Structure 1
């Protein structure tokens, strides 16, 4: 069920529906990212949106002016967490 406050969100207005609300900032042109942030900045339900994103643990999309996509894993960091012994056996 959709929360009632979502009907008042700035992102549901006809002039903002074409923005890529589910795309992360890395792959979206800066001008669109700026438009999404500006839309959220003036949204009358921004606090409810932020609360909803946090409590539902949103892992993607734009919620309250923030891209909720998880940060991409850095392969070097992942490599650094493996035990040295397991790296010897991999060769």
Structure 2
């Protein structure tokens, strides 16, 4: 049979901008493009994630492995009182 090539997962791409993380609790998966409204209220702000360190590719613009540091941040939600939540 034909040989199959297995793709390796793409490396994570760095986020170049600071962004806010929000959550909205829900008892069912009923979100649409309009509901709940994509506004700060009814979402609850969790935290702001800063783009402190940007990964750069080793070996110039042509490729190579990413070098540099990766930001990791643990965010805590809650207290939660519904069956699930949406992140924005």
Q: TM-score range by the shorter chain?
A: under 0.3
TM-score (ref. length: structure 2): 0.22
- The structure with the greater share of residues assigned to helix is 1
- The structure with the greater share of residues assigned to strand is 2
TM-score (ref. length: structure 1): 0.21
